[in-house]
Amino acid sequence: MKKNVLVTGADGFIGSHLTEELVKQGHKVKAFTYYNSFNTWGWLDSISKETISEVEVFTGDIRDPNGVKEAMKGIDDVYHLAALIAIPFSYHSPDTYVDTNIKGTLNVLQAGRELGTSRLLMTSTSEVYGTAQYVPIDEKHPFQGQSPYSATKIGADRLAESFYRSFDMPISIVRPFNTFGPRQSARAVIPTIITQLLAGKEEIELGSLTPTRDFNFVKDTANGFVEIAKAKNTIGEEINIATQDEISIGQLAEELIRQINPNARIICDEQRLRPENSEVNRLLGSNEKIKRLTNWEPQYTFEQGISETIEFFKHNLDKYKTDIYNI
């Protein structure tokens, strides 16, 4: 069934891929992007002209309830991805995370309630779980606010849950584990390593090498959103998107070094280390629930995803600042 859909944060990494996927599936897509005086649409500026011609771009600010409500008029399904996500930036600017992640989510929920929106998918993050107390991490795992970022996402999730329970709204909370792929910000670990290697650096600067992560390729993540939206039995549920496999940052770095520049070596950069009690040491997600409730299955192996990601950065290195620490 073809629908009128809105993607908030469509100018971002996952949002731009989700926008492409929704257009591909024949939906009428409105893309909510962050207003700026340069009239730039983030990563939507890099997608094909054929695809962007099918998209209605709405510029605004997720923190503004009036603009959010205006964007949601006439919309069937809302995919709410707009958020601040960089953990180091949240250490010194937590107010902006509260305003964007919590108040922005409240704006979407309030507008959805007033407009009678038929479906709302609220984007969470595996960071809400903190360091794994058991693995694989399922949706019943306790929440731990180990950074201001994760705390605001926990708050946004609980707001969404309250609107589902209080007003019987058709809400699903979608919780991707670490997503990677083309267009990702250099603040994330995989682009950090790849861009330094492609820039010819012999010393690759990283933080802690021991934490493990469960990495989803971005196209699998986008497909997870679509499959969750299709299934009625996902309403009122919190659902992981995970591969149920893990790799340490150190192992990841060694593999990328092997593929791109075997002569490079890793050095620890103190400014990249999280405070000890804030570091999430292990993330390994359970994907049993999403497989049980939907038709989702990962379509890409980790190796396939890495290969496609490296190719993207080879052709887009000029868009990244490889000589600074991106927070």
Q: Supply 279's token pair.
A: 């570091």
Q: Which CATH number is correct for 4-181+216-245+283-300, 3.30.420.40, 3.40.50.720, 3.30.465.10, 3.40.47.10?
A: 3.40.50.720
Report the alpha-carbon distance of residue 26 to residue 281 in Å, rounded: 41
Q: Is the distance from CB of 8 to CB of 59 less than 8 angstroms?
A: no
pLDDT given for residue 272 in this prediction: 78
Question: Domain spanning 189-210+247-280+304-319: which CATH class is it, in words?
Answer: alpha beta
**pLDDT means over runs of 10, the chain (327 residues):** 96 98 98 97 97 98 98 98 96 97 98 98 98 97 97 98 98 98 94 94 88 97 98 98 96 93 87 82 97 97 96 94 78
pLDDT given for residue 95 in this prediction: 98
One-letter identity of residue 123: T
> Nearest-CA neighbor of 85 among 57, 109, 62?
62
Domain ranges for the chain: 4-181+216-245+283-300, 189-210+247-280+304-319
pLDDT given for residue 270 in this prediction: 76
Q: Supply 186's token pair.
A: 């250099």
Question: pTM score, two decimals?
Answer: 0.96
